Chain A
Amino acid sequence: MPHDHHDHDHPHDHDGLSPSGHPYRADNDAPLSYWQRMEIAVRELMIEKGHLTADQVAAQIDTMDARSPANGAAVVARAWVDPDFRARLLDDAGAASREMGFDIGPLHLIAVENTAQVHNLIVCTLCSCYPRNLLGLPPDWYKTREYRARAVREPRAVLREFGLDLPDSTTIRVHDSTADMRYIVLPARPSGTDGMTEAALAALVTRDSMVGTGLPRQP
């Protein structure tokens, strides 16, 4: 009971808890790991030798941080309103994303389409492969051993925990990103969205709906 005062009378620092009753997060002043030292050493050497600058490193981090699920949502909404674009997306999702102006680098992207009969789910059992160059950084749960192991073994149980209870008549297709491809789910367009603008449709597309752990919002 973090907020209880028990039998002592000073009003602060009970059991190492903050005034709001939560534990303080430990400072990260443990010794550097081998790979942390290696990263710092290589980065400093590259800068010293003039191969890149600290500004370029910071700019690359900014570029990655600027990528967000909104990019993928724009691609999905375009596919919902433009059948020719949808066909190009399913044929080569990387080329279709670049066509919309997204700088996704060398990403090899495959779009898998949800229909009335099929639901797709993306996982990387070997590590944490994710279409970062389009959607930005993956959510923490995507990288956990639990999600990675269970998504291939009991996808229906996993989806129920995400609030998605699919009927037995729906076929689930799980896609394990084991090698060079990355995946995005093209969710089915929600009903009741006729006449909505592309921008309004994009606002319905959640990150989870593009991983397959969710569905788009209803308008």
Chain B
Amino acid sequence: MKNSILLFAATAMTMSSCTRALDTDVLAAFPDIPEVFLDEFASDLQYQAWGKVTNFSIDYNEQYEGRAAMCIEVPVPSDPEGNFAGGIFYSSSARNLSGYDALTFYVKSSISASMTAGIGNFGDTAYNVSVENIPVSTNWTQVIIPIPNPAKLTAEQGLFYYSAGAVDGESYTIWIDEVKYEKLGTLAHTRIQDMTMAGFPSGDIEIGELTVYVNLPDGTDCEMTASSAFFSFESSAPETATVENGAITFHGGREIAVLTPVEAGGSITVTGIYDFAPAPEHEADEVISLYCDDYVNVLSSPFNGYWAPYQTTTNDEMVLGDNHVMHYGSFNFVGIVLGKDADCTGKTHVHLDVLLQDTVEGQPQLDISADINSEGVAAGKVTVNLETGEWIPVDVPLNGQTVIHQLQLAITENTPAYQNILVDNIYFY
């Protein structure tokens, strides 16, 4: 999180100086050219390939309109020159796109497929838009990439990017034409996907990218991923949390905070403020650590095995300065499979701290086991009672086993359902 603070400071300094140095006349100096590719590229445009570098060309035999279209050869996955087609068209200077509300283009392909396209993703831009799974077919169809809050794009270099992969292992061709920015006026109802999250007494959390919806001229919503920097947020409880420059800052308050974008619908709700897990009491040389900010974590894990088909659990790490906390959502069970089996010789227990976020009736419980193999043979297993908002220390005995393959966390048979837990301080001692 120190990096975030430094970044924030640098950004603040930069913005501060920008405020002095750049008035609206200077901003207007960036051209507002709408064209990216009609029959040829706009004069300020450069291309950078992401996938197979030779995938791109201009085809004068296929076009939606005019004389030519962009032609993209999507390679097979085994192509040694690159296993996908992708690239970005960027302005060598920058453009002012704030007067437009969408990037539009026409696309067709030699077979039915899908592609990703977006805006930004170049240089140090804070504003990225990505629309995935855009269907493409053998007929020309128009694609609209909405700009969530055009006012932010006063100096954007990344004008259009794309990526596509093989379909069933086969290569194919995509043609793209009439790529330009437009002011459609018929896009509406921008909203972010509602989110809930845990809050803490102090620290910052980068919001990062959000799932954003914009209603298209046909009344359907376009789902996209967009930078949170597109939006400014208001807080229902500023003493608890506020948002600046894409980061949530906690101020010590304990009231639930609803963070609402000014320029869109939807919200981020901080459902509760929790203390960080208690610091461990063991000396560093007494533990083998997997996930603890007070120790060197010599073990590794993806922290979620995504065990199909019954697991619903998702996970995301919350980073607040030097504090890392693992959040599990939609929880039913999860496997924490170690990257390499842990040699626990001389250790008697594995420890972790668990906090239940949800308020539920009855006694919520959690089964936790330390397994010696992938079949789930447990060295030790405990059942713990959870309490909403309280860190519960858990110590699972290893019962003399010296090799641990994985940990399992699962709701018990009779527990009331819950959705969100936090986990921290996982180590063997």
Q: Do A and B bind each other?
A: no
Using CB atoms and an 8 Å cutoff, list the residues of chain B in contact with chain A.
none
Using CB atoms and an 8 Å cutoff, list the residues of chain A in contact with chain B.
none
